Amino acid sequence: MKKQDIVFGSFLLLIVLVTYFYFKNESNLNVPVEPVPTVSLDEKVEGRFDTKLPENVEKTELKPLTLGSSFAATTREYVNGQFTLTILADLPDPEPGQFYQAWITVGDSQKLSLGQLREAKGGWLLEYQSNIDYTKNNEVEVTLESKLDATPEEVLLRGSF
């Protein structure tokens, strides 16, 4: 047998093996992936805080700006001249001297403080009421603050209606 025939045969065998393993692995890539079940905001709140969100209000979820499992359920309504916004947040306890504060965006970019969140229901709660209708103000934030003033510090959660 000639050296040239041995090289050609080895090359041909290599092509056959590479083709076989390529198609074998490609068929494994087409295995259907089970979708990740989505959890509604109502289910999250009920599971985490053992409470239910009201049915007849606008709802949105505030999501973390950094990786993490924190979230907040936010509801709002304007009924009979009374605006009500409620935030129930799943956040860790802040360091001593720090606190959580809620904000909405008014106009183009001005932030209006809604006040400090307080510990309640196994999380952090804010219940804000006003005679002013803020339902056109869609962006809501929760920040970590070290001093009470009109300037937001570190935004932790954000969402929009």
- What is the rounded average pLDDT of the residues 96-103? 97
Helix (H, G, I), strand (E, B) or coil at 33: coil
**Residue with more model confidence, 106 or 24:** 106
Domain regions of the chain by residue span:
1-33, 41-160
> How far is residue 44 from each of residues 78, 85, 136, 137, 155, measured CA to CA in Å?
25, 19, 26, 24, 22
Give the separation between CA 142 and CA 20, rounded to whole angstroms.
Answer: 56
Q: Would you say domain 41-160 falls under CATH 2.60.40?
A: yes
The yes-or-no verdict on residue 156 having pLDDT over 90 is yes
Output the six-digit token pair for 114: 């809604």
- What is the rounded average pLDDT of the residues 136-140? 91
The yes-or-no verdict on residue 83 having pLDDT over 80 is yes
Q: Is the entire prediction scored with pTM above 0.75?
A: no
Neighbouring-strand partners of residue 157: 64, 142
The yes-or-no verdict on residue 30 having pLDDT over 70 is no
